[in-house]
Structure 1
């Protein structure tokens, strides 16, 4: 579909900052910093750090992504560039509000156990400072509003450290807490306790669940973690009781169409994608890119899939953006302003589209 059909402000709630890289930037920075890569030729490197040909599993997808992230880890300047370019790319697609999520420990090179990057002097706290500063400057330049969610990775023991950073930076650029990791086991007692602490501290909560794991993990996230949103959640549709629970709680699902295919989280036809059942069940969900770097596409590609393959209308996309805005982690006057701005813009957009359609009909 013509990109002009999506010429309206958009809201994204599920986008990994470290998955927003440009292949050319990865090649350039890796070569400059002396970081080993399969190749420094962007066209060759693309085969190793993107999922352009699809992946057999989510693990394979994440492995390709981890190769690229090495170009940014432990370097404040590289992280600043990652943020700046991510915002530029989102602004190009008219994203008005976005919540980038990331794990500071994965980009730091000291005060982290286990240490992922070669040792240096960039602490997780420093990473948050760099991201916040770069994000504020870039978002202001492009007329956007951007916030961050800090993400714990369950294969490491960083839950408490991530929570402490959420506490320190609450209201200072950070708006929520997330958890990601293998889904074959239930969330641990440590994760449950961390989420209870988040709730008591008024820290907003989302969690990866039901992407490749069972609906029972979504149920646990809603009941035990008291999440407000679910990252992905496709397998929720496998259990009507869990689907009804999510609907009753008005849990927002952060759906990522293209990503679900590239990671093999969903392998069926687009016409039967779980998002279709979310829509027919009147669930609270929105559309997101997840990882535009390895995906090699931005939100417009997801909108194309939604309208051309899944069967959504452009008006549906407007409704999904309003769902996302209502479920975002902004608070108070800022959130009210976002909602009012979008409603006003969308009302005009629908009115204009209706007039154009009527004019075409009159010529027939």
Structure 2
């Protein structure tokens, strides 16, 4: 990759739409919070924990992900984790972020919902004040748990409805199709919440279709399996339904064997509104710019693809129209000044 393209990728304004905040918890901070909270970890050191990040599939990652989250107990813990991510995002010229959080991971351990959302939300407010970075929260339901537990989580969340804009669906995809959550998503839709869902990562293209038809989602998280179904591709292009693609995650979890095999270029060339994101960057090897650089190093992606990815990231964001238009103008201004 030439230096000009690298500079464009690093400096261009961008939005991140697929970031699990618990997945930004770096090993160093895990150990610091463990010491602060008196939590005993099953790893002797930062190096031992990091060396365990050799995942064979999504479930092998989730086992370590949930263990890492065990150190999060107080509102300052959630604040510190979120601010650490937001500082890295700011360094990557992320102008807007929509953060996933998994309250069930914490409430199951006895941590109050107010503690979880309070720390994360306060960090977003501080990032706006310090850097002018806008942000919002999307609460995810864990799909390996029953729908009844998702309903209970929604009820816990409603007193804090002003602090999150949407709901999503994450965790183990295989064996947990989107339609398992049709009723709770209908309830969220009636409440005026934005709707997204993980689909077509390890699961089949059919999961993307049912997420659209049964859950009525507005965006698909991952979605890389869509190319299995030409009719689905045509639909995604026609409706301009965005995919929040996470290249390094896809390699780390063996969705693709090597970055050279990734289908990001094929998605873009098909006319799909793909975006690039970091997913769980502490575990998968890099934040947003690292994902862009890895994809552009391995695939014959060009400056025009970078321009499209920057535009797509804001076009797919759940922003007020005036704010979205301002960010899109920022993208155009940046690319008009670049060689």
TM-score normalised to the size of structure 1?
A: 0.85
2:222 matches 1:232: yes
2:286 matches 1:282: no
TM-superposed deviation, 1:149: 0.6
Worse-matched range after superposition: 56-65 or 131-140: 131-140
Instruction: Give yes or no for contact 2:101–2:139 (8 Å, CA) kept in 1.
Output: yes
Instruction: Give yes or no for contact 1:256–1:287 (8 Å, CA) kept in 2.
Output: yes
The structure number with the bigger radius of gyration is 1
Distance 1:67 1:331, change over 3 A: same
Instruction: Give yes or no for contact 2:205–2:226 (8 Å, CA) kept in 1.
Output: yes
Distance 1:182 1:26, change over 3 A: closer
2:191 matches 1:201: yes
Q: 2: CA distance between counterparts of 1:164 and 1:327?
A: 28
TM-superposed deviation, 1:284: 0.9
Aligned equivalent of 1:339: 328
Partner of 1:14, secondary structure, is strand
Instruction: Give yes or no for contact 1:149–1:177 (8 Å, CA) kept in 2.
Output: yes
Aligned equivalent of 2:37: 33
Partner of 2:18, secondary structure, is strand
Aligned equivalent of 1:83: 82
Distance 1:40 1:11, change over 3 A: same
Q: 2: CA distance between counterparts of 1:328 and 1:166?
A: 22
Q: After superposition, what is the alpha-carbon deviation per residue over 1:173-195, rounded to whole angstroms, capped at 9, x for unaligned?
A: 42211011333346365511122
Q: Pairwise mapping of residues 1-364 of structure 1 onto structure 2 (< 5 A)?
A: 1=1, 2=3, 3-5=6-8, 6-48=10-52, 51=53, 54-72=54-72, 74-108=73-107, 115=108, 117=109, 119=110, 122-157=111-146, 158-164=149-155, 167-170=158-161, 172-185=162-175, 187=177, 191-267=181-257, 269-348=258-337, 352-353=338-339
TM-superposed deviation, 1:347: 2.6
Partner of 1:67, secondary structure, is helix
Partner of 1:206, secondary structure, is strand
TM-superposed deviation, 1:318: 2.1
4+ residue stretches of structure 1 with deviation over 6 A?
none
Q: 2: CA distance between counterparts of 1:25 and 1:272?
A: 33
Instruction: Give yes or no for contact 2:169–2:197 (8 Å, CA) kept in 1.
Output: yes
Q: 2: CA distance between counterparts of 1:328 and 1:271?
A: 28
Instruction: Give yes or no for contact 2:124–2:134 (8 Å, CA) kept in 1.
Output: no
TM-superposed deviation, 1:271: 3.4
Q: 1: CA distance between counterparts of 2:87 and 2:38?
A: 26
Question: Aligned residue pairs: how many?
Answer: 333
Structure 2 alignment gaps of length 5 or more: none
Worse-matched range after superposition: 26-35 or 289-298: 26-35
